[in-house]
Structure 1
């Protein structure tokens, strides 16, 4: 299988416990339940793109532990090519330790583990995987140097390059912007990258225009229930969000990115690809969990707004 979407990024096992309330420092509380859920922004986006119709390959690292086997098997079950997922024998797989209280407030501790081992050498070793793709997708849960390598190689190969700048803790290197066709931040990420406070549709537009000025080809700011705002050097377009009953927004952003990537790879026009991704993201928030909430292509094609 030759992948038309390649996702370079993280694979994590989410360890989720639910409690009546979050513990105070030094306090022990009893949990009500515990589950393990496949996650990591890279893996989530790869699964979303695959379920939504793309031929997908994942480029990442897992540890030489049971979680690594499970994470790889989970991707394979979703028809994601794992030839470029490297096992690091003496390293633990990435994990996210998540505690959720009765009001849906949470605390999260992410331990990158093997995700921190994804290196520029891996990108070069699997260059043939990149060469066959139409769309390359990155996030920021693996080393920055590695992300920069993927972006630069994608530009050299003439691919459609998408960066979801999450999680963001510092400005992006200036030379990255010219390699990015679509920069897809949420409100807080757009604020962090542009230094423009984002608290409305208008301010999201100002932030996005600043990111275009920095060199990004096109910017799509995802705004949750407010929809998505597309900004390029020549056009601004607001896409309203489909109306659904929200349950859990955990993987909505990743589903949007994966769905948008799959739609572009399928040859959809830009606006139609955004609308397709919005429906996929809307459906994901009607279900609990990260990867378990990601819909299938038939779900999106059969969606009818209430």
Structure 2
């Protein structure tokens, strides 16, 4: 079996969305047309792109962020928050003609969530933003992408990254009905959850057989490494030469917002440290799990010390 070898990454750049999350906690989700009383409300910075940037930065990696915020107070607050984590935001454009992105999140008692995203400035990202990204790609070796920004911009960014020899990691969330076939060969690592994987391959991904079949189809489309996130059941990974399941990290979940972003950040940070794919997947599982033990996304993402403690002592209490 061929061993996967990753070169040492100089730093990580995230090209994606940045939102303000408006989170309402409730005993259960309302039915259509129903009004119920919630229990708590909080406003926190979020967006899949920004969450993943914070995840890698909190894990000690040099991180750049490229995207857009609106010309409003939310935009200023979002940028300041990224900068508190020492994330380089020189690639962020302040789009004065629109509002910043907003995510309206409902979290029920079990920890499950439903989300409505209003893209705002994120929806205006285009080729001009990729031009800013290109300058930063020259300083980095790993690009993280998600799909809360226009798909065309994502594809152009992936193409430019490949031209420069930069590894591309795509979290296909939220999953569109179809990703262009031309994008898949540009992706080194793709990380859908089961729902997203099902949309990409066109059939339910619900058990071992269909999980493996979905991964095989994505590999055939040109992706180098497929990682399917399985929530509380861990993850499944597949390459041309090997495949396997990643054990979950047992925690008491109170809020699953940002767990997938934490997983991606954990994998990216581990690869940036020069660790193997299997080691990186272990990091992803731990970071994703720890993110569910606190409220919110960025505030719940663990720091390097916490993750290393759990890596070195897997039986320690969470």
Which deviations, in whole Å up to 9, do the C-alpha atoms of 1:229-282 show, x marking residues without a partner? 111111112111122222222111101111111111121111111111211112
Task: Work out which of the residue numbers 220, 240, 252 in structure 2 matches 1:233.
Answer: 240
Q: Is the 8 A contact 2:111 2:256 kept in 1?
A: no
Task: Work out which of the residue numbers 188, 199, 205 in structure 2 matches 1:198.
Answer: 205
Normalising by structure 2, what TM-score?
0.91
Which deviations, in whole Å up to 9, do the C-alpha atoms of 1:139-167 show, x marking residues without a partner? 00001111001110111111111000000
C-alpha RMSD of the superposition: 1.8
Aligned-pair CA distance for 1:109: 2.1
Alignment correspondent of 2:106:
99
CA distance, structure 2, for counterparts of residue 107 and residue 244 of structure 1: 21
Task: Work out which of the residue numbers 227, 230, 235 in structure 2 matches 1:220.
Answer: 227
Alignment correspondent of 1:295:
302
Aligned-pair CA distance for 1:100: 3.5
Alignment correspondent of 2:82:
75
Q: Matched residue of 1:175: which SS?
A: coil
CA distance, structure 2, for counterparts of residue 275 and residue 103 of structure 1: 25
Normalising by structure 1, what TM-score?
0.94
Structure 1, gaps ≥5 residues long: none
Give yes or no for the alignment of 1:9 onto 2:16.
yes
Q: Matched residue of 1:50: which SS?
A: helix
Q: Is the 8 A contact 1:197 1:203 kept in 2?
A: yes
Which deviations, in whole Å up to 9, do the C-alpha atoms of 1:8-56 show, x marking residues without a partner? 0000101122345555555555543321011100000000011112100
Larger displacement relative to structure 2 (291-300 or 189-198): 189-198
Q: Matched residue of 2:14: which SS?
A: strand
Alignment correspondent of 1:85:
92
Alignment correspondent of 2:6:
none
Q: Matched residue of 2:91: which SS?
A: strand
Change (3 A) 1:236 1:126: closer
